[in-house]
Structure 1
Amino acid sequence: MKSYIAGVGMTRFEKPETRNWQYWDMAKEAGTAALADAGVTYEDVEQVPVGYCFQPSTAGQRAAYELGSTGVPIYNVNNNCATGSSALMLARQLVEGGASDCVLALGFEKMKRGALGGGADAGSDFQTSPVARHYGVMAARHGFEMTPPTAQIFGDAAREHRERYGTTETQLAAVAAKNHRHSVNNPYAQFQDAYTVDEILAATTIHAPLTKLQCSPTSDGAAAAVVVSERFVQERDLGGRAVEIVAQSMTTDTEESFASGSCVDVVGQPMSREAARQVYEASGLGIDDVDVIELHDCFSINELLTYEALGMCEPGASGKLAESGATTYGGRWVVNPSGGLISKGHPLGATGIAQLAELTWQLRGEADARQVPGARVGLAHNIGLGGAAVVTMVRRP
């Protein structure tokens, strides 16, 4: 059974404490927009998976009640930075499994200023953190420094990539320069400023070789998607706007993530590679069929690692790929036309759904100044430490 994204909506992603709003205000804004975009009402919605990391239990109900109190099942989803795509995956499974014809996937986050710690609810004791094993791999090889731990583990992955393949700081900065440049045309982006490679390299170092402008910020925001069945599309005559979810896969850590003792593996490259393989096999499509990609650039190095995991280049060639212009307008793919996490922002529960919002607009031809010409097939990649990787292939029917 097929599933489709019939409508999407999101708030602008904001620096925490910029706006005087609560998480339910964000959810209402994004959810209302998605329902209107699909041409449905909340009364049409049969189930609601809601993703978030930093709000209390049953915050999903508090948020969804702003759209209506109809008594439908509401599920609270938390999968670290892959939370949004996990909620979307649950929506797709409910539709494709025949349980429902119309499901609303909702994601939001209201965060605190400052660097993200070791994961949702990790606290200060990394021995009891759900990512303690991951940070243990990092500490065994690189030690544990007084820098933000997520920046450290990804920064150490960048150091290993440099040692193994000769990846340069300029190549890492090229990723960030591209994504900041793309965000200039995105009214939903937290930042809309372009920076040169030299400016990115000169920014404050967070954990070498990563500078501030290569790191995703903490953000407030929400995103929503209405996922419907083929029958619903036909009955509501939505065929001209609905985007098909061709295939989707979630993978979690295997022993490969830990066996090498490498931060490249422990931050999720093996998970991403396997999720992509499963999606290509299920869809009958490959990376060469894809036109536009939204991927999880929480740090510039993760975009390079993901190029390799998705099969866009051979291992070690991602730095050269970023420098070549192949991943921006006029190149082979346009990667993160939204500005990505680095510039659009990263409210954890909303990120994965916001990626699909961008791809939906791109495949409909509704992305305005950031439109990828002729885009017909899109791919989203969302990852969270702990760990989970979700890859989604979508296309315009």
Structure 2
Amino acid sequence: MRKVAVVGSGSSNFTKEEITVETLLLESTKQVFDTTRNLSQNLVDGVIVSTNDNSKYLSAILSELTGIKPKIAHTVEHLCSSGSNAVISAYSYIASGLADVILVSGADKINNPGQVLEWDKTRGEFNHPIFWGSMLTKSHKRKFDTSDEELAIVSAKNHKQAIDNPNAYSHKPYTISEIMNSKSVTDDLRILDCSYPCSGSTSVLLASENVASKFSDQPVWISGIGQKTNSASFAKNELTQLTTSAIASRDAYKMAKTSATHIDVAEIHDAFTVCELMAVKDLGFSENISGADYVRNLFHTENRKINPRGGLIGAGHPLGATGIAQIMEITLQLQNKAKKRQVDGANKGLIHNMSAAATSSTVLILES
């Protein structure tokens, strides 16, 4: 099996503006071509689009708009983790020898239909993500005695870190008090505990070890992959642990021959503040202390190890682009190109991308 690297990336701004998904895809793809050396349309073997939009044939449309005539072209939809799943699809094509270079482009607009899984009737009228976010939060409070202040620290940290992300939806810092006193959306969630649906697009270029050096002096290698799906319906989900995330991370660590202690920087799926507290525990970052204490320490020491671009809460959450944006950030970190967001000495990074209250999770390990 051949090694696969990320050799190029590009992103639009994440915004509340209503922008067509085709326009978004084209914007981030254009950045890939503008910033990747020696890249031309005839070298791209595949175009894979990640989106929850109802538009059809988007990979072929993007190919035509950009002048690419690929062998491989299709769309991946998997709710919030569509992006990471699309990248793994591209990885598989390249690792198997079916392609050498694949463009993966993810996008969604602010009112995309991927926020609600209509098939899942177990949710009844409580089908919006804020309700599963509220249930996870209430369960975490009951089991771990989690306070509103501990949840607010997650939001304060990620909004502060998003200030240095030029593509982020939010560039406004919030105090812990402001977050705790922001508008209540349920008994257990305030508006600033939540990530923002928005319009945005991110693209990455993947290449085989045979050609990676043609496009980059600093290829970033995908060394570990883990995936797990337990169900689609929320009623079968565990409320105090991200079970699929824990399983996916174990598989990714095993494939990469590494462990959480060797991860220098991580992008974690903080759809709600409680998700970050759960994830740092279930991914193995805070084995000896609570997730809340771990994040509190990061906040007070201004350590950007977790969600340096601001996470979903600070940067925004255009579903089809999110996993790819996480991969772009870790790539920049490992190339020492993240500017003010840079984590010193980052050589190994992790991406955690999940769907629908972690009924499905994907974890990737990247290395410089």
Change (3 A) 1:47 1:189: same
Spell out the pairing of 1:255-294 with structure 2 (5 A cutoff).
262-265=238-241, 269-294=242-267
Q: Which segments of 5 or more consecutive residues in structure 1 lack a partner in the other structure?
A: 123-128, 137-143
Change (3 A) 1:36 1:117: closer
- What does residue 307 of structure 1 align with? 280
Spell out the pairing of 1:200-219 with structure 2 (5 A cutoff).
200-219=179-198
- What does residue 360 of structure 2 align with? 388
- What does residue 244 of structure 1 align with? 221
Offset, 1:230: 0.4
- What does residue 7 of structure 2 align with? 6
Offset, 1:96: 0.8
Letter in 2 for 1:49: I
1:64 aligns with 2:63: yes
Q: Tell me the alpha carbon deviations over residues 273-322 of structure 1, each in whole angstroms, 9 at most, x when there is no partner.
A: 00000011111111111111111111111111111110112498111222
Change (3 A) 1:390 1:117: closer
- What does residue 139 of structure 1 align with? none
Q: Distance in 2 between matches of 1:80 and 1:287?
A: 26
Aligned residue for 1:207, secondary structure, equals coil
Letter in 2 for 1:156: M
Aligned residue for 1:346, secondary structure, equals coil
- What does residue 26 of structure 2 align with? 28
Letter in 2 for 1:22: T
Change (3 A) 1:99 1:178: same
User: Is the CA contact 1:165–1:316 (under 8 Å) kept in the aligned structure 2?
Assistant: no
Offset, 1:211: 1.0
2:292 pairs with one of 319, 326, 346: 319
Offset, 1:42: 2.2
Q: Distance in 1 between matches of 2:95 and 2:161?
A: 34
Change (3 A) 1:97 1:248: same
User: Is the CA contact 1:216–1:298 (under 8 Å) kept in the aligned structure 2?
Assistant: yes
Change (3 A) 1:207 1:314: farther
Identity %: 27
1:172 aligns with 2:134: no
Change (3 A) 1:237 1:355: closer
- What does residue 331 of structure 2 align with? 360
Q: Tell me the alpha carbon deviations over residues 89-138 of structure 1, each in whole angstroms, 9 at most, x when there is no partner.
A: 1011111111111011111111229x97423xx2xxxxxx1x334x37xx
Aligned residue for 2:243, secondary structure, equals helix
Offset, 1:65: 2.2
1:345 aligns with 2:343: no
- What does residue 176 of structure 2 align with? 197
TM-score normalised by length of structure 2: 0.93
Task: Flag as ranges the 4+ runs of structure 1 deviating above 6 A.
Answer: none
Offset, 1:388: 2.3
User: Is the CA contact 2:52–2:114 (under 8 Å) kept in the aligned structure 1?
Assistant: no
1:372 aligns with 2:339: no
- What does residue 141 of structure 1 align with? none
Letter in 2 for 1:263: L
Letter in 2 for 1:367: A
1:54 aligns with 2:53: yes
TM-score normalised by length of structure 1: 0.86
Change (3 A) 1:195 1:326: closer
- What does residue 125 of structure 1 align with? none
Change (3 A) 1:55 1:64: farther
1:231 pairs with one of 180, 194, 210: 210
- What does residue 103 of structure 2 align with? 104
Q: Distance in 2 between matches of 1:230 and 1:163?
A: 49
User: Is the CA contact 1:308–1:315 (under 8 Å) kept in the aligned structure 2?
Assistant: no
Q: Distance in 1 between matches of 2:164 and 2:230?
A: 36
1:298 pairs with one of 271, 275, 290: 271
Letter in 2 for 1:66: L
User: Is the CA contact 2:46–2:70 (under 8 Å) kept in the aligned structure 1?
Assistant: no
Change (3 A) 1:327 1:367: farther
User: Is the CA contact 1:13–1:219 (under 8 Å) kept in the aligned structure 2?
Assistant: yes
Offset, 1:208: 2.8
Change (3 A) 1:326 1:186: closer
User: Is the CA contact 1:107–1:222 (under 8 Å) kept in the aligned structure 2?
Assistant: yes
Offset, 1:324: 2.2
Change (3 A) 1:314 1:162: farther
1:334 aligns with 2:305: yes
Q: Which segments of 5 or more consecutive residues in structure 2 lack a partner in the other structure?
A: none
Letter in 2 for 1:337: P
Aligned residue for 2:361, secondary structure, equals strand
Q: Tell me the alpha carbon deviations over residues 68-103 of structure 1, each in whole angstroms, 9 at most, x when there is no partner.
A: 141532111100000011111101111111111101
User: Is the CA contact 1:295–1:336 (under 8 Å) kept in the aligned structure 2?
Assistant: yes
Aligned residue for 2:65, secondary structure, equals coil
Aligned residue for 1:277, secondary structure, equals helix
Q: Distance in 2 between matches of 1:117 and 1:75?
A: 22
Q: Tell me the alpha carbon deviations over residues 48-80 of structure 1, each in whole angstroms, 9 at most, x when there is no partner.
A: 111100232212322332211415321111000
- What does residue 140 of structure 1 align with? none
Letter in 2 for 1:249: G
